[in-house]
Structure 1
Amino acid sequence: MKILYVIDHLGGGGAENQFVETVSRVNRETHEIICFLTEGVGIRHDDLSGRGVKIIKCVKPRQGRDTLRAVRQLRQLVRSFRPDMLHSYLMYSAFVSNLALLGMGRWPVFLATEFSSPERILDEVRFRFLKKAMLKWSYGHLDRLVTTSTGVKEEMVSLGYLAAERISVIHEGVDLERCSPAPKEALRRELGLPEEKKVVSVVSSLVERKGHRYLLEALSGVLGVYDDVVLYVLGDGPER
């Protein structure tokens, strides 16, 4: 089977990291795969390409999004590669994929994976109502939408994005061997963490919808009672 994966970029966010781990585990003996990047490269690019995955990025004269170029180049790739399935990740790439497939005589099976509710992301962008209408149109052409939680599926259905029977919930997998913690004392020494403090950490993209403000509000209350607590925030984004 030929599979064409489409994603915005290969940055360090949770969706991108899950994408890299999922795609790199596809059986290359039975499947031929290509990954197309609609927006940029990102820090996980070399990781995925180093695992033998062919990556093609949208060629454009400037940084950021260039939807028309991305649609045109993806359309050319679909015609030359002739995939059996196109699997997009995240809303923008689903929209680009939909435009690229318009009017084509032979459609591949079209899947999309979403990790968050569109409403939370749309709250942070301009022209919210126009982009919501574009997303509803885009999702309406999918053969199947995959969400990573029941909550996201229920919100998609209740807000009229897609009927429940066209959405599947597949929870993210965790490689337990990679997540086995080292002894606390050794980690504190390696990372230079204070031994006399209780350490709280959060790893996340620093965007408003992640709700870091609630953590900071709660921490201020904790520090009013305990003075041996320290918070480490790992991530990047507009809320930095």
Structure 2
Amino acid sequence: MPKRKLHIVHTESSCGWGGQELRILSESQGLMSRGHRITLVCPSEADIYNAAVERGINVVSLPVARKKVSALMALRRWLAANHQDIDVLNTHSSTDSWLTALACLSLRDSPPIVRTRHVSSPISKKASSHWLYQRAAQHLVVTGEPLRQHLAEHNGFALSSMTSVPTGIDLNRFGPGDRESLRRHGHLHGRIIGILATLRNWKGHAYLFEAFAQLKGEYSDLSLLVVGDGPQRHNLERLARELGIEEKVLFVGNQHNPEDWLNMMDIFVLPSYGDEGVSQAVMQAMATRLPVITTAVGGMRDAVQHEETGLLVDIRSSVAIEQALRCYLDNPAFAKRMAEAAFERSQRYFGLETMLDRMEAIFDRFSRGHR
């Protein structure tokens, strides 16, 4: 384990909220607990700004939400005044990665850059993008091995220039709990299908709702628990009414204790068709010892192997979700076997300390002192 204490500066231009921001925060807190200095550079209006302040992370507010000359100059001025004190820069989104790379071009002895790519969306094959990922950054971290292989095959990135480090979860926090007690507290009963995700189109809630609508008449004890909030809340509530499942669907919004709500579920479903890495919610559900249904987008196969640690279904298919749910509902022994296998995999590969060990080693290897 590295013995040097580093000053690691994270840059984040996104003003949204999701798994990417949560990873930055948990990774920062974990490395701070190991004695490293962490600074986060982000816009003051970003959700992550206040969240970092609440967690005791040093935050610098800069107007880096857009690719503008003023943003580049602001970041360049801050780096010029502080770069000698920075061991490594860790960029996260497209905008801050470009701004940081360009700002460093004009600095003597600029800090090395490690880029973390959290999503699976395609990368342009233009020479400029190749420069950003293979020249401007000393190393690229992706959140799943399928993403690393894809970038090597489709973009020509050297495998040696990339490392897959799935997001780690706190196994002391997320794990099997007293399900019956939690259900009594939440006034829940029967068998509960659940999803924990921001209410965005590409998380696939609508397809889960349609699948649930096909099951509710046959399985009268079923309920659907929706944990999370987001821009699709109103549309999903309307869809529940249109499908005639409104009385069986419980929207509880964002929760500060998602681990408790996971423990109220019998089956976890995340039918995402978007640019996932490896979903933190899926890994959290696996650590809670839940049978999981999800899709093979992004790096999800790092977590779920079909019929070994869960079930993988086609994207945008309510029929496929319905069939997978029937597999679990009609065969409790199979569901239990998948849940146990998921739990074992989460304990072996997806703990927070595993992620911290790997990121700490990468930062140490590519830091100023070892460049």
Q: TM-score range by the shorter chain?
A: 0.7 to 0.9
Larger relative CO (CA 8 A, sep 6+): 1 or 2? 2
User: Which residue identity does 1:162 align to in structure 2?
Assistant: F
2:186 maps to 191
Moved more, 79-88 or 161-170: 161-170
Q: Is the Cα–Cα contact under 8 Å of residues 67 and 95 in structure 2 kept in the other structure?
A: no
Aligned equivalents of 2:142 and 2:179: distance in 1?
35
- Write out per-residue CA displacement over residues 12-69 of structure 1, whole angstroms, 9 at most, x where no aligned residue: 4111111111001224785332110147331x54443244321012248xxx646433
Aligned equivalents of 1:223 and 1:39: distance in 2?
45
Deviation of 1:146 after TM superposition, in Å, equals 0.4
1:221 maps to 214
User: What's the secondary structure of 1:26's corresponding residue?
Assistant: helix
- Matching residue within 23, 26, 34 for 2:28: 23
Distance 1:232 1:137, change over 3 A: farther
User: What's the secondary structure of 1:56's corresponding residue?
Assistant: strand
Q: Is the Cα–Cα contact under 8 Å of residues 117 and 156 in structure 1 kept in the other structure?
A: no
Where do residues 91-102 of structure 1 align in structure 2 (5 Å cutoff)?
91-102=94-105
Distance 1:238 1:139, change over 3 A: farther
- Percent sequence identity is 25
Aligned equivalents of 1:135 and 1:208: distance in 2?
28
The alignment of Structure 1 onto Structure 2 pairs a total of residues equal to 225
1:143 maps to 138
User: What's the secondary structure of 2:31's corresponding residue?
Assistant: coil
| Structure number with larger C-alpha Rg | 2
Aligned equivalents of 1:168 and 1:215: distance in 2?
33
In structure 2, the gaps of 5 or more residues are 1-5, 234-371
Q: Is the Cα–Cα contact under 8 Å of residues 15 and 115 in structure 1 kept in the other structure?
A: yes
In structure 1, the gaps of 5 or more residues are 123-128
Q: Is the Cα–Cα contact under 8 Å of residues 58 and 73 in structure 1 kept in the other structure?
A: yes
- Matching residue within 60, 69, 82 for 1:56: 60
1:164 paired with 2:159, answer: yes
Q: Is the Cα–Cα contact under 8 Å of residues 42 and 63 in structure 2 kept in the other structure?
A: no
- Structure whose residues are more often helix by fraction: 2
User: Which residue identity does 2:53 align to in structure 1?
Assistant: S
Deviation of 1:134 after TM superposition, in Å, equals 5.8
TM-score, normalised on structure 1? 0.78
1:202 paired with 2:195, answer: yes
Deviation of 1:216 after TM superposition, in Å, equals 3.1
